[in-house]
Amino acid sequence: MSEAAAPATDIPPFRYTAAMAEEIEHRWQDTWEREGTFHAPNPTGPLADPDHPRAGAEKLYVLDMFPYPSGAGLHVGHPLGYIGTDCYARYQRMAGRNVLHAMGFDAFGLPAEQYAVQTGTHPRTTTEANIERYKAQLRRLGLAHDERRSVATIDTDFYRWTQWIFLQVFNSWYDPRAGRARPVAELIAEFEGGTRPTPDGRPWAELTVVERRKVVDDHRLAYVSEAPVNWCPGLGTVLANEEVTADGRSERGNFPVFKRNLKQWMMRITAYGDRLLADLDTLDWPEPIKMMQRNWIGKSTGAHIDFPTDQGPVRVFTTRPDTVFGATYMVLAPEHELVDVLVPAAWPEGTKEAWTGGHASPRAAVEAYRKAAAAKTDVERQAETKEKTGVFVGAYATNPVTGGRVPIFIADYVLAGYGTGAIMAVPAQDERDWDFAEVFDLPIVRTVQPPAGFDGKAYTGDGPAVNSAAPDRGVDLNGLGVADAKARIIEWLEANGHGAGAVTWRLRDWLFSRQRYWGEPFPIVYDSTGAPIALPESMLPVELPEVDDFSPKTFDPQDADSNPETPLSRRRDWVEVELDLGDGPKRYTRETNVMPQWAGSCWYELRYLDPTNSARFVAPENEAYWMGPQQPGDCGGTDLYVGGQEHAVLHLLYARFWHKVLYDLGYVSSFEPFRRLFNQGMIQAYAFTDPRGTYVPAQEVVEVDGRYFHGETEVRREYGKMGKSLKNVVTPDEMCAAYGADTFRVYEMSMGPLEVSRPWETRAVVGSYRFLQRVWRTVVDEQTGELRVTDAPADEATRRLLHKVIDGVRGDMEGIRFNTAIAKLIELTNGLTRLAETPREVAEPLVLMVAPFAPHIAEELWRRLGHDSTLAYVDFPTADPALLVAETVTYPVQVNGKVRGRIEVAADAAEDAVRAAALEAVAGSLGGKEPRKVIVVKGRMVSVVA
RNA sequence: GCCCCCGUAGCCCAACUGGCAUGAGGCAAUGCACUCAAACUGCAUAAAGUGUGGGUUCGAGUCCCACCGGGGGCACCA
């Protein structure tokens, strides 16, 4: 046996290696778990602990967007945010705060169910196994979670409260006068007392029981409606607007989605449109996310205007009522309900050929156009954005200000679902209307004067109104700017009964039911009238029953006319139930839809606060402590919420909505759930394709002079996501095995700012490994295992470096700039490796500062430095301000913007002295000339203008 | 088409409110030490003038304008 086969023997016995890291990491993870190191004390209840070192301290609630336990397991990108929050939470805990950080699982919903369907096992079985796998993978990373608070949305103890919250929503209505939700009991009391008129004016007492229930149901925040919804045959369920992509497909699975009239559960999120919009201003969120929510809510301010026709008025919505004098035609959505009423038997006298679409009668033209429009997919409609189509319905309306006769068209560029589904067309001030007017040869009248030199078509900017007066009707906008003209015309419309100022929203009510199995059952039954009845709280939870076949009934993805069938409806013995709801045992039918996957994530952050509470979903004291407003006007909520951008208008909007309902009903003291939001970047990866376009394992690709080879074959590099099909997945498990969890954590945190996406590069991980080895070596002798720490004081330079680093690291930790914090720690460590022995006064703070990033090695070194308890609650080092100010400052001296010399002066030198020294230093460059100007920037530099 | 964000050594990234790019830090590269050799480790070195073109300023990576490139959002929303 040759000597070459003897590896590792010359590695120093006490070097920090992957094997040693693994041993240290497992030992400390066990210690933390055994001692409950990261348990955070509550003010009240079973999780209260007055003896805890942080009991009563300033609180900090750090939250991650909890994961789906998908069957694919984790890759190195997934834990990025979790490691980030862990570093932040560990730092804040050492800085003196009582930190709550827990991790749960969002385990209901389509992905979990689809995975279960694929593998042919019960979703609960696969989901629970996945949760265990996730927990093990996350535990290996040393995340400091309070594991007592871990919840999963599929736990009966959890979803009974999801159902309970649903009941609160169901039993509430939105009072627009109060601007908040109130219990329906108060609504009924108002009807009974006569202080609120019934919809048809009859006294409440004269309404039948069924009629009364209908009136109340129409007010509820959760209600059943028969309305056009997004039906996705491929998934066998309906979907919320937020789950449908811009090109009309399901976000999950990418199946076509069709509009169908179906009876479904809705949540009245539109009632909260104003508050969801306005309260964005109270939030510390990334601006792009706020912008996406604003766009989604889509508030438009303008007016409703009625255009009289022989068949009654047609109401339009416009944001530009000031341009009504230029409304030369009208357009209704093809589906608009008045179209059928308006269509006459024959084309009126003088109908232009182009308007008829070549049809003999308006009826035929309308039918044909509708059919063509319905057959088009959204993608096709988008592809044809430029080409305007439409057809004249054969009827005219009257422009209420000009009295002019305007033709009425239908066209698919007007959407049935927005505003009133009808517009007044003002080609001169609207590009779409201009395009349409050109195609159909319709008159164009400018009512806003474009600026001189304007050579475009429609002019949408500001300018004085022209052609906008009707003296006989008492209205004259001419000369007014757009804003003034709007105000004036709205006044006139209201005074003359032609319309009123109005606000329109893009936001639709939230479609809340799914025809799937793996979700929370509704706590709802129906009696013989078919109206929903809430089950009393005492009957919660309504447990998800076992079924033989939990697969949803899916259809041909293109089969728009198929009808949903809920898996729960197959369990007739569960559906048909006899209950005593206070008036004796009766037969009822259960609701067989389930809630959407978003339900549990709408409130899980509240359950972490009080996970064992069986009397309430959260005790008010616990909510107020962890999430309550911190000063008057503060919205409250979690102090940090970290997750991906993909939830901008789904989870984040729904959760805000539920939280506001709970706030209105007095269950929580915060009116926003997430005070501060942080979007972590994505870890991306290179993938490689061979000439046939097949992916080759990224691990096996080698780089030669900027080209990439897989064996002999040159391969093409592409940059994107990490995924099985791209053969470029790297798992945290591999990294932990090769380097240890601490190295992996340090690497992920040092790659760049947390919010920036960056490519994964396995070969760069070694840099973080070497750093931790150096940290180890500053404290422990690699050959003997002895401490190489001295109690002698540090030299001045080392001490100053230490305090500069402490100061910088604290700032970076507060600002979530972990990459620069780590750079400073590396700088300090590199400064120490030059010393023969490490002064204890530097070694201890270094270990403490490393702890948030590499907690296991830090605990181990802390122990070796002679401390016998965890460092998790040891004060984070504080910089001595006296050591931060330098005694002397070196000023660069610029002459005409170029550095020509340097001077070193006392830090407190007067400006005149600095100026004199600087001029002397650059006298040569000035060549005896008198400088024109000398600028001294205190503590920075001197600039001389020659 | 409209809106937002970003372009700094071969690569990932620093640079506080405009103020020294001897780049904070890391990877890769090169050299040296250790080794029979290598790996590991350590020490050292080289390498951009900040996407392009203008402007403001004593001074611009940082501010303004235009353009180019990359990423994201919205997309007939009246």
pLDDT at A490 over 70: yes
Asked if residue A452 and residue A558 are part of one domain, the reply reads: no
* Cβ of A740 near strand B (distance < 7 A): no
* Cβ of A423 near strand B (distance < 7 A): yes
* Cβ of A535 near strand B (distance < 7 A): no
**Residue A178, in any domain of the structure:** no
Q: Please tell me the predicted confidence (pLDDT) of residue A454.
A: 76
- CA A262 to chain centroid, in Å, comes to 29
**Residue A142, in any domain of the structure:** yes
CATH number of domain containing A935: 3.10.20.590
Asked if residue A898 and residue A933 are part of one domain, the reply reads: yes
pLDDT at A825 over 70: yes
How would you classify the pairing of strands A314-318 and A299-307? antiparallel
**Residue A575, in any domain of the structure:** yes
| Rounded mean pLDDT, A813-836 | 93
Distance from residue A850 (CA) to nucleotide B8 (C1'), in Å?
A: 28
Q: Please tell me the predicted confidence (pLDDT) of residue A317.
A: 94
pLDDT at A383 over 60: no
* Cβ of A384 near strand B (distance < 7 A): yes
**Residue A140, in any domain of the structure:** yes
Helix (H) and strand (E) counts in chain A: 29, 35
Nucleotide B20: closest residue by CA–C1': A892
Q: Please tell me the predicted confidence (pLDDT) of residue A111.
A: 77
* Cβ of A767 near strand B (distance < 7 A): yes
* Cβ of A826 near strand B (distance < 7 A): yes
pLDDT at A928 over 80: no
**Residue A184, in any domain of the structure:** no
Residue numbers in A 196-225, CB below 7 Å of strand B:
none
Asked if residue A709 and residue A835 are part of one domain, the reply reads: yes
d(CA A257, CA A255): 6
pLDDT at A8 over 50: no
pLDDT at A1 over 50: no
Distance from residue A299 (CA) to nucleotide B74 (C1'), in Å?
A: 14
Nucleotide B40: closest residue by CA–C1': A11
Asked if residue A324 and residue A263 are part of one domain, the reply reads: no
* Cβ of A292 near strand B (distance < 7 A): yes
Residue numbers in A 637-696, CB below 7 Å of strand B:
645, 649
Please give the share of chain A, as a percent, with pLDDT higher than 90: 65
- Position with higher pLDDT, A239 vs A898: A239
Is-contact A518 A340, C-beta < 8 A?
A: no
Partnered with residue A534 across adjacent β-strands are: A524
Nucleotide B43: closest residue by CA–C1': A834
Is-contact A432 A388, C-beta < 8 A?
A: yes
**Residue A175, in any domain of the structure:** no
- Any idea which nucleotide's C1' is nearest the CA of A421? B78
pLDDT band at A834 (very low <50, low <70, confident <90, very high): confident
Nucleotide B74: closest residue by CA–C1': A295
pLDDT at A796 over 60: yes
pLDDT at A549 over 90: no
Q: Please tell me the predicted confidence (pLDDT) of residue A175.
A: 96
* Cβ of A820 near strand B (distance < 7 A): yes
Measured CA to CA in angstroms, residue A581 lies from A573, A594, A616, A638 at distances of: 19, 22, 22, 39
Q: Please tell me the predicted confidence (pLDDT) of residue A902.
A: 76
* Cβ of A902 near strand B (distance < 7 A): yes
Domain count, chain A: 5
- Any idea which nucleotide's C1' is nearest the CA of A932? B58
Q: Which of the nucleotides in strand B have any atom less than 7 Å away from a protein CB atom?
A: 3-5, 10-16, 19-21, 24-28, 36-43, 58-60, 72-78
- Any idea which nucleotide's C1' is nearest the CA of A429? B78
d(CA A144, CA A129): 22
Asked if residue A141 and residue A108 are part of one domain, the reply reads: yes
pLDDT at A731 over 50: yes
Please give the share of chain A, as a percent, with pLDDT higher than 70: 98
pLDDT at A17 over 60: yes
Asked if residue A814 and residue A752 are part of one domain, the reply reads: yes
Distance from residue A863 (CA) to nucleotide B31 (C1'), in Å?
A: 40
Token pair recorded at residue A166: 């649903």
* Cβ of A291 near strand B (distance < 7 A): yes
Nucleotide B76: closest residue by CA–C1': A413
Give DSSP secondary structure letters for A243-266.
Answer: GB-TTSBBTTT--B-EEEEEEEEE
Measured CA to CA in angstroms, residue A303 lies from A417, A441, A483, A907 at distances of: 17, 27, 13, 66
**Residue A10, in any domain of the structure:** no
Asked if residue A568 and residue A500 are part of one domain, the reply reads: no
CATH number of domain containing A694: 1.10.730.10
- Any idea which nucleotide's C1' is nearest the CA of A889? B20
Q: Choose one of A592, A613, A643: the last residue of a domain.
A: A592
Q: Please tell me the predicted confidence (pLDDT) of residue A3.
A: 34
Q: Please tell me the predicted confidence (pLDDT) of residue A932.
A: 78
pLDDT at A705 over 70: no
Q: Please tell me the predicted confidence (pLDDT) of residue A119.
A: 77
Residue numbers in A 234-263, CB below 7 Å of strand B:
246
ipTM of this complex prediction, to 2 decimal places: 0.95
Asked if residue A615 and residue A475 are part of one domain, the reply reads: no
CATH number of domain containing A622: 3.40.50.620
pLDDT band at A905 (very low <50, low <70, confident <90, very high): confident
- Any idea which nucleotide's C1' is nearest the CA of A747? B26
d(CA A152, CA A172): 27
Is-contact A284 A815, C-beta < 8 A?
A: no
Asked if residue A752 and residue A608 are part of one domain, the reply reads: no
CATH number of domain containing A443: 3.90.740.10
Nucleotide B59: closest residue by CA–C1': A897
Q: Choose one of A471, A486, A504: the last residue of a domain.
A: A504
Q: Please tell me the predicted confidence (pLDDT) of residue A378.
A: 56
Asked if residue A517 and residue A481 are part of one domain, the reply reads: no
- Any idea which nucleotide's C1' is nearest the CA of A703? B28
pLDDT at A376 over 70: no
Residue numbers in A 587-646, CB below 7 Å of strand B:
645
**Residue A444, in any domain of the structure:** yes
Q: How many CB atoms are closer than 10 A to CB A34?
A: 8
pLDDT band at A4 (very low <50, low <70, confident <90, very high): very low
Token pair recorded at residue A186: 């108060």
- Expressed as residue numbers, the domain containing A475 is 300-504
Asked if residue A550 and residue A457 are part of one domain, the reply reads: no
Asked if residue A334 and residue A453 are part of one domain, the reply reads: yes
Listed in sequence order, the DSSP H helices in A49-183 are 80-94, 110-119, 123-139, 156-170
Token pair recorded at residue A905: 């002066």
- Encoded amino acid at A29, one letter: Q
Distance from residue A175 (CA) to nucleotide B76 (C1'), in Å?
A: 35
Nucleotide B58: closest residue by CA–C1': A945
- Which range has the worst mean pLDDT, A44-48, A72-76, A189-193, A551-555? A551-555
Nearest to A64 by CA among A111, A108, A107, A104: A104
Is-contact A427 A420, C-beta < 8 A?
A: no
* Cβ of A756 near strand B (distance < 7 A): yes
* Cβ of A273 near strand B (distance < 7 A): no
pLDDT band at A453 (very low <50, low <70, confident <90, very high): confident
Is-contact A609 A602, C-beta < 8 A?
A: no
Q: Please tell me the predicted confidence (pLDDT) of residue A234.
A: 86
- Encoded amino acid at A444, one letter: I
pLDDT band at A7 (very low <50, low <70, confident <90, very high): very low
* Cβ of A12 near strand B (distance < 7 A): no
Q: What share of chain A is helix, strand, coil (3-state, %, to 5)?
A: 40, 20, 40
Q: Please tell me the predicted confidence (pLDDT) of residue A826.
A: 95
* Cβ of A415 near strand B (distance < 7 A): yes
Distance from residue A759 (CA) to nucleotide B13 (C1'), in Å?
A: 12
Q: Choose one of A819, A844, A878: the last residue of a domain.
A: A878
